Amino acid sequence: MTSEPTEAYVWVWLAGSTAPVVAGRLDATPDIVTFTYGRTYLERPDRVPLFLPELPLRDEVLVPLDGMHVAGCIADAGPDSWGQRVVLRQLGAGAGGSGQVGLLTFLLESGSGRTGALDFQHRRDEYAERGAKASLEELLEAAERVDAGLPLSRALKDALVQGSSLGGARPKVHIDGAGNGKMIAKFERQSDTYPVVNAEGVAMDLARRAGLDVVSTEVVTCRDTDVLLVERFDRTPLPGERRMVVSALTIEQLDERWARYATYTKLAEEIRLRFTEPKATLREVFSRIAFNICVGNTDDHARNHAAFWDGAGERLTLTPAYDICPQLHSGGEVTQAMAYGENGENRSRIEPLLRAAPLYHLEPTGARQIVDHVVDVIRTQWGDAADGARLSSADRDLLWEAQILNRSIFYKD
DSSP structure class, residue 165: T
State the Cα angle at 23 between 233 and 165, rounded to 5°: 40
Residues forming a β-bridge with 120:
10
pLDDT of residue 98: 46
pLDDT string in tens for the chain (413-residue length): 457 899 999 999 999 999 999 999 999 998 999 999 999 999 999 999 999 999 999 999 999 999 899 999 999 999 888 878 888 877 875 544 445 788 999 999 998 989 999 999 999 999 999 876 778 888 888 888 877 778 777 777 777 776 676 767 778 888 877 655 788 999 988 888 899 999 999 999 999 999 999 999 999 999 889 999 999 999 998 989 999 999 999 999 999 999 999 999 999 999 999 999 999 999 999 999 999 999 999 999 999 999 999 998 889 999 999 999 999 876 678 999 999 999 999 999 999 999 999 999 999 999 999 999 999 999 999 999 999 999 999 999 999 999 999 999 999 98
- Alpha carbons 306 and 249: distance in angstroms, whole number: 8
End-to-end CA distance of the chain: 56
Q: Nearest Cα to 289, choosing from 248, 341, 363? A: 341
What 3-state class would DSSP assign to 62?
Answer: strand
- Alpha carbons 109 and 13: distance in angstroms, whole number: 19
Question: Within 10 A of 7 (CB to CB), how many other CB atoms are there?
Answer: 15
- Alpha carbons 25 and 411: distance in angstroms, whole number: 53
The CA distances from residue 31 to 80, 101, 185, 197, 257, in Å, are 20, 14, 35, 38, 14
- Alpha carbons 125 and 110: distance in angstroms, whole number: 20
Q: Where are the domains of the chain?
A: 1-171, 245-410
- Alpha carbons 104 and 111: distance in angstroms, whole number: 13
pTM, full prediction:
0.94
Question: Which class does domain 245-410 fall in?
Answer: mainly alpha
DSSP structure class, residue 245: E
- Alpha carbons 290 and 360: distance in angstroms, whole number: 12
User: Phi and psi at residue 93, in whole multiples of 5°?
Assistant: -95, 155
What 3-state class would DSSP assign to 118?
Answer: strand
Task: Give the H or E element holding residue 367.
Answer: helix 364-388
What 3-state class would DSSP assign to 400?
Answer: strand
Residues forming a β-bridge with 172:
186
Contact 23, 74 (CB under 8 A): no
Which residue type, as a one-letter code, is found at position 326?
Answer: P
